[in-house]
Amino acid sequence: MRFYLMSLALLALVAYLGYEVGHYRQQAQDKTIQGLRNSLTSVTDKNNELVRKLNVLGVELEVERLANQNNQSQLHQAIQGQAALKQELSFYQRVMAPELQEQGVAIDDFTVQPSSIPGHYHFSLVMMQQSQRNEFVRGKASVLIFGSQQGKDKQYDLLELDTSVNGPLSFNFRFFEVLEGNFTLPEGFIPERVEVHFSASKPERQSLHRAFVWPLGEQTPLADNN
């Protein structure tokens, strides 16, 4: 009987110890899980903070990029505006102070600008008299466009093209005159340069010639022959 009682007591002790060990392990596991959860929460919060900072930095960089782009655009516009003002000032200096320039009639400028329709262009031809006498100048101009078509050299007279100009390019001016119009280039034609010829009949007979390279809006004189 005593043996059975001792056995029961031993079993109870083992059961109690097993319960306590299991409970301890469960508590330790719960603490570990809670620690991992806390670590995960902390890492998640830090990650969210980093994402927020990256988003803010991205916005700041985009704002800075747009600001730089805007500054570059404003600088480019300012440079273009300054160049246009210089060109305009030079033009009026030639008109109002001809004594500072080479005397005589001159082909002052020829520009071509593309329209919104492919192959369609707007031209502007400026004739000027750089003389203190300021006599009326009369004459006619011709414009030849040189280039290539289907791999061969080709040239067109402006008046032979589909143009808004009716009749010859006639001029009658005292200081300067601007002749403008529209024209259409044939399909497949690649322009390279433009030659302007002017024949004056008054106040004296005179022939002028000036050539321009094609790049639209950036014509550079190739030669001046009076």
CATH number, residue 166? 2.60.40
pLDDT of residue 222: 41
> Phi, psi (5° rounding) for residue 204?
-150, 155
**Cβ–Cβ under 8 Å, residues 132 and 99:** yes
CA distances from 17 to 3, 11, 14, 214 (A): 21, 10, 5, 101
- Positive or negative torsion for Cα 15, 17, 23, 26: negative
Verify that 90 and 108 share a domain, yes or no: no
Assigned token pair, 193: 């340069």
Q: Has residue 216 been placed in a domain?
A: yes
Verify that 216 and 108 share a domain, yes or no: yes
| Blockwise average pLDDT, block size 10, the chain, 226 residues | 67 63 66 71 77 77 73 64 55 49 76 90 88 81 93 92 80 88 92 93 88 65 42
pLDDT of residue 99: 44
pTM over 0.75: no
**In the chain, how many domains are there?**
2
Q: Has residue 43 been placed in a domain?
A: yes
Determine the structural domain holding residue 15 and report its residue range: 7-96
Verify that 112 and 210 share a domain, yes or no: yes
Verify that 108 and 41 share a domain, yes or no: no
Verify that 115 and 207 share a domain, yes or no: yes
How crowded is residue 198: how many other Cβ atoms within 10 Å of its Cβ? 22
